[in-house]
Amino acid sequence: MKTRRSHKAGLLLLSAFAAIGAAGCGGQPEVQGKTGGEDGKAAEKAFDYNQTATLTMYNPTVSPDYYKDYILPHIKKKFPNVTIEHINPSDPGNGIDNLISAKKLPDIYLMATNGIPNLMEKGLLANIEPIAKTNKIDLTVFEEPMLQSIRGISDKGELLGLPWTYGSTALFYNKDIFDRYGVAYPKSGMTWDSPELRDMIVKLNRPQDGVKGIMFNLGNMLGQNQLSLPFVDPKTEKALVQAEGFKRIIDTFASLYKLGGSVDPADFDSSGQKAFITKRNVALWAGNAVYPMLIDLEKKGNGFNWDIVSLPTFKEASGVGTQYFGAVWSVSAANGKQELATQIIALLTSAEVQIEGGGLIRFPTLKDPVVKDSLGKGESFLQAKNMKALQLNKIPAATTPTKYDGTAAGIVVGKAVEVIRDQKDSNTALREAAEEIDKKIADIRGAK
Q: How far apart are the C-alpha atoms of 142 and 93, rounded to whole Å?
A: 35
Q: In what order do the strands lie in the sheet with 306-309?
A: 212-216, 282-288, 169-174, 306-309
Task: Output the average pLDDT for the chain.
Answer: 88
* Residue 22 pLDDT > 60: no
pLDDT tens by residue, 314-350: 999 999 999 999 999 999 999 899 999 999 999 999 9
The pLDDT score that the predictor gives to residue 408 is 97
Q: How far apart are the C-alpha atoms of 409 and 215, rounded to whole Å?
A: 18
Q: What global pTM score does this model have? A: 0.86
pLDDT tens by residue, 187-203: 999 999 999 999 999 99
**Using alpha carbons only, what angle is made at residue 37 by residues 32 and 42, rounded to the nearest 5 degrees?**
95
What's the one-letter identity of residue 87? I
User: Mean per-residue pLDDT for 224-241?
Assistant: 96
pLDDT tens by residue, 390-440: 999 999 988 888 889 999 999 999 999 999 999 999 999 999 999 999 999
Q: Are 217 and 273 in contact (CB under 8 A)?
A: yes
Q: How far apart are the C-alpha atoms of 85 and 402, rounded to whole Å?
A: 30
pLDDT tens by residue, 128-173: 999 999 999 999 999 999 999 999 999 899 999 999 999 899 999 9
Would you give the end-to-end CA distance of the chain in angstroms? Answer: 52
The pLDDT score that the predictor gives to residue 67 is 85
Q: Are 89 and 358 in contact (CB under 8 A)?
A: no
Cα dihedral angle (75, 79, 85, 86), rounded to 10 degrees?
-10
Q: How far apart are the C-alpha atoms of 366 and 439, rounded to whole Å?
A: 40
Backbone angles phi, psi at 240, to 5 degrees: -120, 20
pLDDT tens by residue, 302-317: 999 999 999 999 999 9
Nearest to 9 by CA among 352, 366, 291: 291
